[in-house]
Structure 1
Amino acid sequence: MTRLAVILGDQLSLDIGALQAIDPARDVVLMMEVMDEATYVAHHKQKIVLILSGMRHFAEELRAAGYTVDYVRLDDAANSGSFSGEIERAVKRHRAAGIVVTHPGEHRVLADLHALASEMDLSVEWVEDTRFFSTPSQFAAWAAPRRELRMEFFYRQMRAATGLLMDGAKPAGGQWNFDAANRKAWPRHRAVPERRRFPPDAITQSVIDLVERRFPHHFGTLDGFGWAVTHADAERALEDFIAHHLPCFGDYQDAMRAGAPFLHHGLISPYLNIGLLDPRRACALAERAYRQGVAPINAVEGFIRQILGWREYVRGVYWHLMPGYAEGNALGADQKLPAFYWDGETDMACVRDVIGTIRRHGYAHHIQRLMVTGNLALLWGVRPAEIEAWYLAVFVDAFDWVELPNTHGMAIHADGGVMASKPYAASGAYIDRMSNYCRGCRYDPSQRHGKDACPMTLLYWDFLDRHETRFAAHPRMKLVMDALARLPSDVRQAIRAEAAALRRAGTDRSAGDPSAALF
């Protein structure tokens, strides 16, 4: 009897487990564009286009490979708007004996599918997602005896297990981590490199038109959409990065420059996360570049650490600790998300530039995410659920399994130290050191308070003041906490008052979450 292989929008791989588990001569592939998935947060317009166009192209690829594909479009008249509704309709349409599902990437989707199977008394074959180097159960076995889940130790285990960048039992280059070499600022007169982009084809243009009609209030613009939406173009993007940008990736991995959103970054995370690229191939090509002398060890190790280390690690944390992990709020953050996270209307040059970049591309690199938008949310005291929903909405590569741990644990320290031993809190001095933002900003990153004080710096000292009891004895924060203790009482009082006024001004404006206009 016929079975349905359910392929979700982030599972666009011919190697996905559900496809390997069916008989193409008998079974049917079900792919669904549904309103629920486009609106549970107000996803960036480019994210919706990337996924829907990627799905439509992948459906054609599957048909060419001999699969029977039942494809439900967003604007089909009978579309129920949900995965559950469409699976139920498809089961009846094909008189299917059951469904085959690759383990989804989000706890929310997994729960919905379990509920549907129970309600329909439906036979479900769950298949492991083999696109990752490790499984949730393998991560759980590693994590079980540990109180603190440090990525570095997991990463070393993964290196040894896979053999990537290993010379026998020892790490290539003589050490595991070359991050200390990857902290250079972008030289003032260095040219900004051109990056390969992919103009929309007819399928993508039709999706762009659909998204403009159906999601006019969502964040972002579709002007200049240039993401790859096919396996072939994603492969070209990877090869272009390896050939032209990997050699400099390490040196300038943490650098930021106004008006230059891409620099030498990979720009491949969207393709990895929806199945258009294989992470094993990405790592193998990078290692080959090192072995052939094309790219230095600090660049290649840093790139592979992003995939084999961070990407695998955050997925492991997500499935090991969810659903309770998302409920944590160790620092008691209780502030609304400032309106400028959506409209970019702020005198902070760094925030204005990064929000503008996100609006135009659905992208910002990891330091802009962690040390500009994330650091500011931490210092501001934004409620975890609000900043996490924002990250999930605005980035084209954001899915809950990768967004939640990165935001909850790394950016805002809401897990109290499960992922990071101390908060990634920094003043405006860090932004000044790693970018040219401050040269064009009206604020002074060296001033703790006063009308010219950088909000990052003001809020940094306010953050330390508010959490003095918690971090006073923290060994990694001793120097800054000692500096706080030396501040005169009147200075500390001024910092508290000005920080409170800044928060009021940032949240009183009417602009905000575009999802409010949807309902």
Structure 2
Amino acid sequence: MGALRVILGDQLSRDIAALDGLDAARDAVLMMEVAEETAYVPHHKQKIALILSAMRHFADDLRAEGIRVDYVALDDPANTGSFTAEVRRALQRHRIDRIVVTEPGEWRVLAALRDWAALFDCPVEIRDDTRFFASRARFVRWAAGRKSFRMEYFYREMRRESGLLMQGDAPVGGQWNFDAQNRRRLPRGHIVPSRRRFSPDAITAEVLALVERRFAGHFGSLADFNWPVTRDQAQQALEDFITDALPLFGDYQDAMRGGEPFMHHSLLAPSLNIGLLTPREVCARAEAAFRAGHAPLNAVEGFIRQILGWREYVRGLYWLRMPDYAAFNMLEAQRPLPAFYWSGETPMACLRHAIADTHRHAYSHHIQRLMLTGNFALLAGIRPQAVCDWYLAVYADAFEWVELPNTLGMALFADGGLLASKPYAASGAYIDRMSDFCGSCAYDVKQKSGPRACPFNRLYWAFLIRNRRHLAGNPRLAMPYRQIAAMDATRQSTLLREAEDFLDGLEA
């Protein structure tokens, strides 16, 4: 008898812990496309297609090694639609004396896995996911005794432990963080590099037809599906980014331009989050580009910080505070998610562009997520759980362990500052400075109030006034609260009324 090695849809790495020690003569690998995973939120069509196609390609790679793969397709008439029920059926098909699985990325899935031993009367080994730089236990040790968690301090420890961008015990360049150099607006006439994309092969074409047939009502379009679905393609995408986009990634990582959804960003998060690439190889490749003189330090440090720092940090925080974390709502935001988040039909040009790009590509880069869709949801007081479900649904790289802290903590400040030191609230001036959206907008970014005033301007001051008791003590908000203190009561009431009228109009 052998082991049933369970591989989930975001564990498509040949060195995943569940495959360690595999005996090809006795063991079987179980891979499952299950309905409960495709529909617990209305996932973007491209997200579903990406995961299913990558799973099928990965299964073929394992079979090519002589490994027995028990693959349950979504449209298999016998498919029960759940992980647990499919594992039960697999145990009936194979002579198995134990189950081996790598810890999943989401709390609800781990809760189900922990029941398997009792349900099946079979030993279940849940192994650590060793693809990350920091284990969950390592993050717990770092967090122990801290009153607040700041990514910067965790990141420095990860730099020391990994040796990335280090000279002995000191950071290359004499400082840990070059973010101050990474906030340039895109110059007029700047040519954004074209990106390596991938035409669907026969497997992907079959998946696209299945997704269009089965998920016709889900958000998004499949017309431009061109994500990497194999490790070889993901490695090509990595090399494309390193060669053409990384050198200016740092300078323009916060910049936005209409018609340029990708800018100089890597587009590697989907491949990282489903396992086609590992964070170690991606960071090592970026560092090598710096050492070879191909990319400057501010670009490479900023990129590595996103993976070695931020990605590891939000995962650690997720597991440290779940399941309670998902219910946090410190600012008591209760408005429903506006319909334009799904339709893209809004006079606000910046949001219209961001949502249209998301519909087309299942992607927008981090500053669009934080300072456009996230900033609006924060200022408008939209219920965090509704916003988190939207982010989880619409982006190809969204898995709860990475999406939830980024949305609830970073974008919405709903955790009260556990993750971020201040709310990332901004008026229209920031959007105007970092993009070209405002020139084509129905609203006037220069106007602070009145019917043509940029909604971000109206909502910004109302947000601070409305949340004064929660935020006035934050030292990073001292300046805007001094400005509010200088306003008379009539001015403050006018700002609140205009904001409420605008938001009530959205709901109507």
With structure 2 as the length reference, what TM-score do the two structures score? 0.99
Match for 1:346: what amino acid?
A: T
| Residue number in structure 2 paired with 1:103 | 103
| Deviation by residue 1:373-395 (Cα, 9 ceiling, x = unmatched) | 11111111111110000000000
1:455 corresponds to 2:455: yes
Q: Deviations over 1:203-241 (max 9, x none)?
A: 000000000000000000001111000000000000010
**Contact 1:91–1:98 (8 Å) recurs in 2:** no
Q: How does 1:260-271 map to 2 (within 5 A)?
A: 260-271=260-271
Deviation at 1:457, TM superposition (A): 1.1
For 1:295, what is the secondary structure of its paired residue?
coil
For 1:378-417, what aligned pairs fall within 5 Å after superposition?
A: 378-417=378-417
1:335 aligns with 2:352: no
What is the aligned partner in structure 1 of residue 493 from structure 2?
493
1:435-491: CA deviation from partner (whole Å, max 9, x where unpaired): 001111121223222111111111111101101222223211111011112223322
Amino acid at match of 2:453: A
Any idea what the Cα deviations from partners look like across 1:76-108, whole Å, max 9, x if unmatched?
010000101100100111132121000100001
Shift of 1:267: 0.4
CA contact (8 A) 1:193 1:264 kept: yes
Q: Which residue of 1 aligns with 2:141?
A: 141
Q: Which 5+ residue runs of structure 1 have no aligned equivalent?
A: 509-519
Alignment partner of 2:422: what SS? coil
Closer, same or farther in 2 for the Cα pair 1:446/1:53, shift >3 Å?
same
Paired AA for residue 197 in structure 1? R
- 1:80 and 1:65 mapped to 2: Cα distance? 28
SS of the counterpart of 2:115? helix
Match of 1:99, SS?
Answer: strand
- Aligned pairs for 1:104-503 (under 5 A) are 104-503=104-503
Native 8 Å contact 1:43 1:392 kept in 2: yes
Deviation at 1:123, TM superposition (A): 1.1
Q: Equivalent pairs: percent with the same residue?
A: 60
How far apart, CA to CA, are the structure 2 residues paired with 1:162 and 1:205?
A: 40
Deviations along 1:131-163, whole A, 9 cap, x unmatched?
100100000000011111100000000000010
Give a deviation string over 1:148-188, Cα, whole Å, max 9, x none. 11000000000000100001111011100000000001111
- State how far apart, in whole Å, the 1-side matches of 2:187 and 2:152 are: 29
Residues 116 and 124, structure 2, Cα contact 8 Å, conserved in 1: no
Is the 1:21–1:100 contact (alpha carbons within 8 Å) kept by the matching residues of 2?
A: no
Q: Secondary structure at the match of 1:250?
A: helix
Deviation at 1:254, TM superposition (A): 0.4
Structure 1, residues 295-348: CA drift from partner, whole Å, max 9, x if none?
A: 000000001001100010000001111111111111001110011110011000
Q: Whole-Å Cα distance in 1 between the matches of residues 461 and 117 of structure 2?
A: 52
Is residue 125 of structure 2 the alignment partner of residue 89 of structure 1? no
Shift of 1:500: 1.3
Classify the secondary structure of the residue corresponding to 2:186. coil
Number of paired residues? 508
AA aligned opposite 1:269: A
CA contact 2:409–2:420 (8 Å) conserved in 1 = yes
**Equivalent residue of 2:5, what SS?**
strand
| Aligned counterpart, 2:4 | 4
C-alpha deviation, 1:114, in angstroms: 1.4
Partner of 1:514: none
CA distances 1:407-427 after superposition (whole Å, capped 9, x unpaired): 111000010010112111111
Q: Equivalents in 1 of 2:411, 2:255: separation in Å? A: 18
1:47 aligns with 2:51: no
TM-score of the pair, normalised by structure 1: 0.97
SS of 1:397's partner is coil
2:478 & 2:411 partners in 1: Cα distance? 20
Match of 1:56 in 2: 56
**Amino acid in the other structure paired with 1:323:** P
**Equivalent residues of 2:193, 2:244 under 8 A apart:** no
* Structure 2, gaps ≥5 residues long: none
Mapped contact 2:331–2:470 kept (Cα < 8 A): no
- In 1, Cα distance between equivalents of 2:196 and 2:485: 50
Distance of 2:460 and 2:406 partners within structure 1: 20
Aligned equivalents of 2:117, 2:445: Cα separation in 1: 56
User: How far apart in 1 are the matches of 2:456 and 2:135?
Assistant: 39
Paired residue secondary structure (1:221): coil
Q: What letter matches 2:52 in structure 1?
A: L
Q: Give, in whole Å, the separation in 2 of the partners of 1:200 and 1:378.
A: 38
Q: Tell me how far 1:116 sits from its aligned partner.
A: 3.2
TM-superposed CA distance for 1:189, in Å, is: 1.3
Shift of 1:66: 1.8
Give the whole-Å Cα distance in 2 for the aligned partners of 1:29 and 1:158.
33
Q: Matches of 1:504 and 1:384 in 2, distance apart?
A: 18
Cα contact 1:426–1:460 (8 A) shared by 2: yes
Q: Is the 8 A contact 2:290 2:300 kept in 1?
A: yes
Segment of structure 1 superposing worse, 456-465 or 494-503: 494-503
Over aligned residue pairs, what C-alpha RMSD do you find?
0.9
Where 2:438 maps in the other structure, the secondary structure is: helix
Aligned partner of 1:20 in structure 2 is: 20
Give the residue type in structure 2 aligned to 1:161.
E
Q: Residues 2-49 of structure 1, C-alpha deviation per residue, up to 9 Å, x if partnerless?
A: 211000000000000001142122100000001000000000000000
Extract structure 1 runs of 4+ deviating beyond 6 A: none
Alpha-carbon distance in 2 for matches of 1:53, 1:171: 40
Q: SS at the partner of 1:57?
A: helix
CA distance in structure 1 between the partners assigned to 2:288 and 2:503 by the alignment: 49
